[in-house]
Amino acid sequence: MSDVIDRPISEREAPAQSRLRIIDCDIHPSIRAHSDLDPFLPKRWQEHLKTYGSHLRTPYIGTTPYPRSSPLIARRDAWPPTGGVPGSDLAFMQKQHLDPFDVEFGILQVLDLFIFSQQNLEFGAAIQRAVNDWQLAFWSHRDPRLKASILVGQDDTQLAIAEIDRCAKTGEYVQINVSPRANEPLGRRRYWPIYARAQELGLPVGIHVGGYGGHAVTGGGWPSYYAEEHQSNAHTMAAMLTSLVLEGIPERFPELRIVFIEGGFGWIPSAMWRMDQHFEKFRSEVPHLKRRPSEYVKQHFWFTTQPIDEPDEARHLRSLIEWVGVDRLLFSSDYPHWDFDDPRYAFKTPLTEVERGKIFNSNARGVYKL
């Protein structure tokens, strides 16, 4: 962890008035206490949560399989002085992140309570519904800069569609979130109704790293170290991109926008190259694809920048950005997590003003219709 990240913002240089306001596509709010959800959670499920807690698709109870590098995945300076966990205090988030960096909009990404990974799908749906309402009441309504996402568990499509429709009626959510670690690869037919409804509503589908689908997080089994598990997030995202493209989701839903969140972008060029090579050899197997896979990626998918894969030489990062396409990248900080990207220092390679404008603002404005 860098010394820059460890030091509180108040002790660093104060940023000058920004000429470019930032749209941050990955901010993590946290639930201060389970009781905060009680106004949005039926009594049955309140008692269920107290009595039985979470029942996850992992061999662990109520925790992630691997310890994090610091408590709650958080920066050391992100713990609010008023108490509570990082990301649970709006005033502190405003003081530490939203105001100093002139964040015009922040897209909320909730990870609490393993909402995508509950074995009891009905309980999972109740928690998702409560968290969706909590996002508005505790965050978006108190600070209109913060935009909520509709969280749904994709493995019960009927419940997911019902929740999407309920939330979409308010007009206050900017995307539909599903988990990349589902029961099956995300391109499978069972998930198509979610994509169809997202296209009908004009809402992007956001896919944030994480979740537990009941399978090992790597293709070879459970890793030994947290460093392996953390690295596997990129492998998961590459697998899901391949599934979505080769199963023909962009071809079947041509107006659908898909955002990969917190998976980095260093792996994208090689994934596109390999898909294109295989497509040339096996195109008779996938007649539903009318174009090369890379063409679908460059038209229908966007990728948030964090964590930025930073090679030693700036020119290599420059080449990577050009391969992926500057129009495909959306800035994200991952606040308040330990691998947070400070927008002032996020890119080792220089960006032109046009490129900065796209990555830090206009690309997200277009994708999310802000």
CATH code for position 12: 3.20.20.140
**Could you give the CA distance from residue 26 to residue 67 in angstroms, rounded to a whole number?**
22
pLDDT confidence of 253, banded at 50, 70, 90? very high
What is the pLDDT, as a whole number, of residue 189? 97
Of the candidates 196, 207, 135, 204, which has an alpha carbon nearest to the alpha carbon of residue 170? 135
What is the pLDDT, as a whole number, of residue 259? 98
Q: How many domains does the chain have?
A: 1
Residues 96-152: tens digit of each pLDDT = 999 999 999 999 999 888 778 888 999 999 999 999 999 999 999 999 999 999 999
Residue 164 contacts residue 197 (beta carbons within 8 Å): yes
Residues 289-347: tens digit of each pLDDT = 999 999 999 999 999 999 998 889 999 999 999 999 999 999 999 999 988 999 999 88
What is the pLDDT, as a whole number, of residue 67? 55
**Could you give the CA distance from residue 225 to residue 234 in angstroms, rounded to a whole number?**
16
Residue 303, token pair as written in the block: 């990728």
Q: Which domain holds residue 28?
A: 3-368
Q: Considering the chain, what is the average pLDDT of its residues?
A: 90
Tokens 């946290």 sit on residue: 30
Residue 256, token pair as written in the block: 């659908």
What is the pLDDT, as a whole number, of residue 8? 42
- 82 Cα distance to chain centroid: 27
Adjacent-strand bridge partners of 107: 147
pLDDT confidence of 62, banded at 50, 70, 90? low
Residues 35-51: tens digit of each pLDDT = 999 999 999 999 999 99
Query: What are the φ/ψ torsions at residue 187 (nearest 5 degrees)?
Result: -80, -10
**Global pTM exceeds 0.85:** yes
Average pLDDT over residues 252-281: 97
pLDDT confidence of 226, banded at 50, 70, 90? confident
**Could you give the CA distance from residue 255 to residue 158 in angstroms, rounded to a whole number?**
22
